[in-house]
Chains A and B, each alone.
Chain A
Amino acid sequence: DTGVSQDPRHKITKRGQNVTFRCDPISEHNRLYWYRQTLGQGPEFLTYFQNEAQLEKSRLLSDRFSAERPKGSFSTLEIQRTEQGDSAMYLCASSPGTSEYQETQYFGPGTRLLVL
């Protein structure tokens, strides 16, 4: 069990550029989540996958954001036309998918995005 991994750990980009982040969940975990955390705040939910199906999306996930989990394993989160307000830590988590709402979510180290 190697834990949840995220790549890259840090990303600096210029406003208007596109960025893509990758998350590799714990193997055999069916559920995968993306959260965003800004300085001094708790993580805020963005979206959630059960296997390859994206089942829930937050209102925070504007049209510039898209997430995929094509084979039910790793996931990518893309932000198009980045804005300075997108600067945050992007967290990925996974859970086994064996029970409703009582499961522990296991978090990766996060990708810190800075938009200049």
Chain B
Amino acid sequence: GNSVTQMEGPVTLSEEAFLTINCTYTATGYPSLFWYVQYPGEGLQLLLKATKADDKGSNKGFEATYRKETTSFHLEKGSVQVSDSAVYFCALSAPNTGNQFYFGTGTSLTVIP
């Protein structure tokens, strides 16, 4: 079946620290992979995506590389800011599954000044 396993939080970092949030997946076929972010009181927003192996998605200083050999899509940022405090969700969409997304449980990030 299809599933996403995400690094558990909460994660607390100081401003300018390096961020990694781990995400691994199991899927039938070759999925597309996504990171969504949910800021306090707001809806889910797409952060980045990758649709095939070795693709790198990037946005707002965040990056994630689609690794087929390790079935991973880890989120990284070199220097976090207080404004990055949010909940981050890894998700996949797989062929022949009705276009539904499968989400991880989310990782809460708090960045302190």
Contact = CB atoms under 8 A, between A and B. Distances in A.
Given A102-B51, A106-B46, A108-B43, A31 B99 contact: yes
A58 B100 CA distance: 10
B103 to A, nearest CB: 3
Most buried by B among A43, A55, A100, A101: A101
B43 A44 contact: no
A107 B106 contact: no
Interface in B79-98: 89, 91, 93-95, 97-98
B91 A109 contact: no
Interface of A: 4, 31, 33, 35, 40-45, 48, 55-56, 58, 91, 93, 95, 100-110
A51 to B, nearest CB: 13
A44 B105 CA distance: 10
B49 interface: yes
A95 B105 contact: no
B104 A42 contact: yes
A108 B44 CA distance: 7
B95 A100 contact: yes
Contacts of B62: none
Contacts of A45: 100-102
B99 A91 contact: no
Per CB-CB distance, the 6 closest pairs between chain A and chain B, nearest first, are: A42-B103, A56-B98, A45-B100, A107-B44, A109-B43, A101-B93
Given A41-B105, A101-B93, 4 more contacts: A33-B101, A42-B103, A95-B99, A102-B51
